[in-house]
Structure 1
Amino acid sequence: MHNFKKPLYSVYPRMYCSGTIYVNDVPVIDWYGDETKEGGFGGDTMINQALLQSGKYQVVGKMYPRLGKNVLDEDDTLSVDFFCADFDNWKASRAEFRPKMESPWDGLTENVQHPTFNVASEIEVELPFVLDGWQHSVDFKDVKKEDLFSDVFKYYKQIRAVLVEHNAGKYLEMSHDKMQLQEQALYYSEDRKKRFLDSAGQLFGQNLAVEELNEADLHLEIMGYGKLVRLMRKDGSQPLQFISPDLEKQGNIEMEIKLHMRTKEKGFSII
């Protein structure tokens, strides 16, 4: 284990397929849609905010076919490297802390049609905090899926109304739990907090149009071992999106949303 005062844990996937990377049963990377038609995804992604405290955690890579394909084949691969670094000396201290997780190195079995394929591993982390996340939130596993979908969809419509109004203050209020979690997990300084708020203000200040919510195009996902929930479009994208003013230069801006419920009386909030 490390001796860092402010450890930053990250995953670095290389995805030559569609898919999602889960840490602690929380999606930290989603890779779907037009971009999966060719090429791949790679990049370092911080995961402290999904870990919450020291301990052992499952990491799962769920592989799906690229857009335009129905099954995975021997050309589709996924691997994940695991890194830890000291926040105050990131470049010099960053190093792998466990072996790579990967799909079969020579590809999936030839001539076998896989609609999906999972790769799993376990990591052990040491953190200087215990975050107040979703550990004690309402468990959704026993709620009827139809009722839960209806309630979640209603809350998404509330969020969309805030986006349509370009009300940054209200959106940040709805996202308080998420902001607090990230600030603590990623060691935000006061300056970084200010930059984050400024960037949110700039985004909402563009007065961009917002995509419609099409109930028939959405499905419900329960994660975080039953404590988190979200809606996703059937193409794998986020339901809530600001529409790009120039799609040739930039795609729509997707709002990454996960919900929890500290108590039934308090209702949903973004985390």
Structure 2
Amino acid sequence: MHNFKKPLYSVYPRMYCSGTVYVNDVPVVDWYGGETKDGGFGGDTMINQALLQSGKYTVVGKMYPRLGKTVLDEDDTMSVDFFCADAENWKASRSVFRPKIESPWDGLSTEIRYPHFEIVGEIEAELPFVLDGWQNSVDLKDMKKEDLFDEVLKYYRQIRSVLLEHNAGKYLEMSKEKMELQEQALYYTEDRKKSFLAGADQLFSQNLEVEELNEADLRLEIIGYGKLVRLMRKDGMQPLQFKSPDIEKQSNIELEVKLHMRTKEKGFSII
């Protein structure tokens, strides 16, 4: 274990396929769409906001075929490294805190046609807080899938209407719970908070077009061991997107949204 006052835990996936990395049954990295056709994805992703408190947690890497393929093959791989660092001295203190998990080093068997593949591991985290996230929220698995989908879609449409208005203030107000959770989990300084808000204002001020929200193209995903829910497009992309001002140079800007219900009376909110 560490002796950091402000530990920052992160995963560093390397994905040469489409896929998602889950920590505590919460997706922390999604990689799908046109960018998966060639090359791969790699990057450090903080996970304190998915952990919420000290404990042992399952990490799952779900591998899927690249866009245009139907099965995984020997060229498709995924690995996940694990790091911990002191938030106040990140570069100097960052170190591996458990061995990586990975798909077979020599590739998947050519004799089996894998539509998907999973790699699984466990981590143990020691954090100086217990955050009020979704642990005690309504168990959404108890709801009828059809009713849940309809309610979630209704809320996504409310969010989309705010995007169409380019109303950054309203979107930030709807995202207040998520922002507060991230600020606590990732030890945001006042400067970091201001930078985040400025980034949101800059994005919304571009008055970009918003992608359509087509019900037939969406699927429901219940996560967080039943306490969280989100919609995803059937191609693996986020449903809420600003259209790129120049698609040749930059892909659409995806807005990642997860919902929970503190109580059925209060209804859904972004977390």
**Is the TM-score greater than 0.5?**
yes
Report the TM-score, using the length of structure 2 for normalisation.
0.99
Aligned residue in 2 for 1:174? 174
Q: How does 1:1-271 map to 2 (within 5 A)?
A: 1-271=1-271
- Which secondary structure state, in structure 1, belongs to the residue aligned with residue 96 of structure 2? strand
Query: SS state of the match for residue 198, structure 2?
Result: helix
Q: TM-score, normalised by structure 1?
A: 0.99
SS of the residue aligned with 1:119?
Answer: strand
Q: Unaligned stretches of 5+ in structure 1? A: none
Counterpart residue identity of residue 212, structure 1: E
Tell me how far 1:195 sits from its aligned partner.
1.1
- Which 4+ runs in 1 deviate beyond 4 A? none
Give the distance between the partners of 1:13 and 1:197, measured in 2 at CA: 28
Residues 154-200 of structure 1, C-alpha deviations (whole Å, 9 max, x = no match): 00000000010111111111101100000000000111111111111
Identity %: 81
C-alpha separation in 2, matches of 1:50 and 1:183: 13
Aligned letter for 2:201?
A: G
- Write the deviation string for residues 69-105 of structure 1: whole angstroms up to 9, x where unpaired: 1111111110000000001111111000000100111
Contact 1:73/1:111, CA 8 A, preserved across alignment:
no
Counterpart CA distance in 2 for 1:244 and 1:267 is: 32
Amino acid at match of 2:185: A
Q: Give the superposition deviation at 1:110.
A: 2.0
Moved more, 196-205 or 2-11: 196-205
Distance 2:64 2:58 in 1: 19
SS in 1 for 2:142: coil
Partner amino acid, structure 2, of 1:229: V
Structure 1 counterpart of 2:99, one-letter code: P
| 2: CA distance, partners of 1:171 / 1:70 | 37
Q: Is the Cα–Cα contact under 8 Å of residues 141 and 222 in structure 1 kept in the other structure?
A: yes
CA distance in 1, matches of 2:189, 2:239: 31
Secondary structure at the residue paired with 2:158?
helix
On the 8 A contact 1:101/1:120 being kept in 2, the answer is yes
Q: What is the rounded CA distance, in whole Å, between the counterparts of 1:52 and 1:176 in structure 2?
A: 17
Per the TM alignment, residue 132 of structure 1 is displaced from its structure 2 partner at its CA by 0.6
SS at match of 1:221: strand
Shift of 1:38: 1.1
RMSD, matched Cα: 0.6
Q: Distance in 1 between matches of 2:38 and 2:192?
A: 35
